[in-house]
Structure 1
Amino acid sequence: MNRYDLIILGLLENKPQHGYDIKTFVEATEMNRWANISVSSLYNRLGWLEKHGYIYGTEQQVGNRPVRNEFEMTDAGRELLQQEVRDFISGFNDDPRTLGLAFLHVLPNDMAQAFVRQHIEDLQQEVKNQKSIIRKKKAENPLLNSLSPILSNMSLEHIRVELKYMKAVLEILENPETADQLNSIFDING
């Protein structure tokens, strides 16, 4: 999973943009903070995406300004974007799917529903697994703190919260009226 690819391709999904436009948007929405990315690395990643055929740049000269590239996404870039959204929604990592959900609109609704449903099932299984681990640990160490085992209990609570919100996302996707409102970044937050 690559946060930079998801952000860059997600922003290019709607319209061609210059690297500066992407950088400005990321800073204005504080995506660099909550998505844990370095704004200065965006330009390097644009070059990588172009080199590998996920985007292409067209040089533009406006007045006396320096030549700038306007980037557009290729079909391979669209496939990568959809894969990144799926990975971020269903991946077990330190990002609670915020970034994947911000770009949820790029997936066809039926695909989004299928991935969210599968993730809900995975989370429900993980709740069972964590409860089993907690019971075993408590039996082994009955004198530990009431929240012990700390990491397992914390993981369980994180999973429960994520499960709650993934069910809410599925409700939005299953309702044609609300699903039709998901057309651009952050619409899931509306």
Structure 2
Amino acid sequence: MSRISDIETAILGLLYEKPQYGYQLEKSIESWGMRNWTQIGFSSIYYVLKKLEKKELVTSRLEKVEGKPSRKIFTITDLGRETMEEKLKELLSWNKKLTSPFDLGIAYLNYLEPQEVIECLENYIKSAEGRIKFLESSVKMQKELKAPYYVTALFSRPLEILKTEIEWVKQLIETIKKEENI
């Protein structure tokens, strides 16, 4: 079974739904709001498609369009479907360790004055609260659009994680104040 990256999984998932050409994939990525939960740039789409084609997970064919240049339509193969299904089972079965640059800040926060740390953490909370507003509006919009539950879950999961993280940061601030007698 071919190993595929998360970005390859994202593109393969869109092709699992239906054959598409590059610009259609870009529009699908935008409409799904995928850049909010994946690391996929516009310029990487064609690079990933070439990799998937080399691994025989997708095929391509040229489609003539009257008055325009031909476009390359990509279609998932049976091997691509099988690989995608295996990757999905893996992704949904294992809790992968998340890494965050925030943890680096925590590791070395003792190099700053306690009041500076508190100020930074309060800024972090403000930043997170802005993200919460975005996620809440996204969840609301998905529900209004009657999007499938799994699409709404792409926004509700990080929303709940962020709410919990804010509470944790508030507790950390209180611990710093107590430990440093502030």
Normalising by the residue count of structure 1, what TM-score does the alignment of the two structures yield?
Answer: 0.48
Of structures 1 and 2, the larger Rg is shown by: 2
Q: Which has the higher contact order (CA 8 A, sep 6+)?
A: 1
Normalising by the residue count of structure 2, what TM-score does the alignment of the two structures yield?
Answer: 0.50
